[in-house]
Amino acid sequence: MKKDIEGIVHRHEPDVLVMQKENAVRPKTEDGGSRNQVIRFSIGTVIFVAAILLKGSNIQLYVYLISYAVLGWKVVYRAVLNLLRGQFFDENFLMSVATGGAFLVGDFPEAVAVMLFYLVGEYFQDLAVSRSKKSITELMDIRPDFANRKESGGLARVSPETINIGDIIVVRPGEKIPLDGVVAEGESWLDTKALTGESVPRVVKPSDTVLSGCINQSGVLNIRVTKTFGESTAAKIIDLVENASGKKAPTENFITTFSRYYTPAVVSLAILLAVLPPLFFGGGWADWIHRALVFLVISCPCALVISIPLGFFGGIGRASRNGILVKGGNYLEAINNLDIVVFDKTGTLTKGAFEVTAEYPEEGATSGELLEYAAYAEAFSNHPIALSILQAYGKNVNKDSLTEYMEISGYGVSVTVKGINVLAGSGELMKKENISFAESDSIGTKVYVAAGGKYIGCIVISDEIKDDSRKAIAGLKAHAVRKTVMLTGDSKQTAEAIANELSIDEVYAQLLPHQKVERVEALEKQKRSKGKLAFVGDGINDAPVLAKADIGVAMGSLGSDAAIEAADVVLMTDEPSKLVDAIKIAKATKRIVWQNIIFALGIKFIFLIFGALGISGMWEAVFADMGVSILAIFNSLRVMKAKV
């Protein structure tokens, strides 16, 4: 099977190394390849200088040919291979034709010198691309090298791929956490910067969830593994970033299409330049063929083909460094055109951590009695509202004293406490049980409590707004987002209060998941012609809406499979303002990419005219090709330092 795959791959890309994924290790050929290139360059240069010194000798031509063969054999070989596969008009073809033609018209030194200069340019171009990709991939250097598995005989240093769910691993200070898990023993500070972009360490203790890729800074941690390596956060993030370049931005696709038509067009023009002037206007054939060859070298679109994808790759890397995972250049470019941003409320704009903010005991009851009855009623529930009541009560609940516990779906709970029937739930529960009560107009979730058939009061539970939410909404408006919208299943009163406090333009409350999808579909019709709609949610309950939006943004969901799968962009902290940072990075990326397009095409256009007029020679032609490519690549690297 492997040989069949290798055969297919090598027919298309002979230089590609094929490996099985589970055993794949990145080959360390980069330094070796560079060394061979330098050796070949040095030998070829010495022979070239010798040929120049042999001026007038009968063997000079043969020495030039040897020098050319040493320097350019790989270029010619690739050109022939591509021709046999039906792939014409690439840079290897253009250089082979141009330098071969120079030999035919008697420009031997120039032919070798151009190949020599091309080799130097290609070396620096490869070096620039290699270093740029290295600087980007180092930002995501979260792949664990090993795991210390706890066994009966002590610790065994093993590959993370061999760890099973439920195994205990030990992480010492300074080591990366290799797999997701829960702290079984120990306390420590974790450096989460590689995942979140945040430099502030996070403290963890027993029962806390920890994620692979974080670095243990202080104490020794015993961690019970909850996900295999392939499902761990580090593995998913690495896979996401590595595959992000597969989803090309419209600008990248434009350049690919442009090159497909541009290169054959300039080759045709070069042929016409070599043939028509000598036929109709006179002049030497050698001179016009030389001009056509120069024209060919200048025409190669290397700068565009290399620097533009590299610009988007750099933008994705810069975003990753800032705790923002973008699944492709297409989404990064789309962020530039955000017109409407729709937010989920709970866990996105608010903390999603409920707490008791007010107690309203009925006359004849105390706050303590109200909380006690509510706590006993909610003793068996794991709902956030129930947990907030139990936390506010702050005492142990004797569950042995509870009988006849029953959840009344959509209303609340009923339980008998020491012979007294207690009801806790919505106002609809009070009405259903025919208990007279006064509805509260407080903002928040209300839990009404009755004991022994008598109403004893109301508890108000609120979800606090994140401090960062105000910054996020203000930042979006500062970056020309026309409309901000909030969707929630909460009450209209609570939703409007939060929307007003955050200056959100529109709010829709009491929505079920399918109604959120319908609302997003309606908002899609309100976009400007080229505008995009983004939905920001937790990536779990809102997966259908994330999929429906132009750009689905999951936030505060690090480690959630649903978030990573459903979203196009993942904000790796609980800060909605990261979306504003994503806009800044997207704008910087677009600006640099278009600088490269204008710069490369502008220089090439000027030199094409100079080449046709005979002003530019081969040396200038190679500079126009390789020189512009190198400058454009280095310009692409500036996106890595884009201000956020």
CA angle, 413 then 415 then 416, to 5°: 165
158 contacts 147 by C-beta, under 8 angstroms: yes
In the numeric block, the tokens 């591509």 are attached to 82
According to DSSP, residue 397 is labeled: -
Nearest to 316 by CA among 539, 550, 557, 139: 139
Residue ranges of alpha helices (H) inside 444-558 are 467-478, 492-502, 513-524, 543-548
Name the DSSP class of 176: B
Q: Is 32 left (phi over 0), alpha (psi -120 to 50) or beta?
A: alpha
**Short-list 303, 245, 263, CA closest to 122:** 303
CA distance 124 to 627: 10
Active-site positions?
344
How many whole angstroms separate alpha carbon 504 and alpha carbon 330? 28
Q: Which tokens go with 235?
A: 């593995």
Q: Is 500 exposed, middle or buried (0-12, 13-18, 19+ CB in 10 A)?
A: exposed
CA atoms within 13 A of residue 471's CA, in its CB half-sphere:
11
- Widest pairwise Cα distance in the chain: 120
Please state, in angstroms and rounded to a whole number, the distance separating the CA atoms of residues 565 and 569: 10
DSSP 341-352: EEEESTTTTEEE
Q: What is the DSSP string of 303-317?
A: HHHHHHHHHHHHHHH
The tokens describing 36, both together, are: 């061979």
> Which residues, including other chains, have CB under 8 Å from residue 56's CB and lie 6 or more apart?
none
* Strand, helix or coil for residue 527: coil
Q: Which two tokens stand for residue 214?
A: 């974080």
- Contact call for residues 533 and 523 (beta carbons, < 8 A): yes
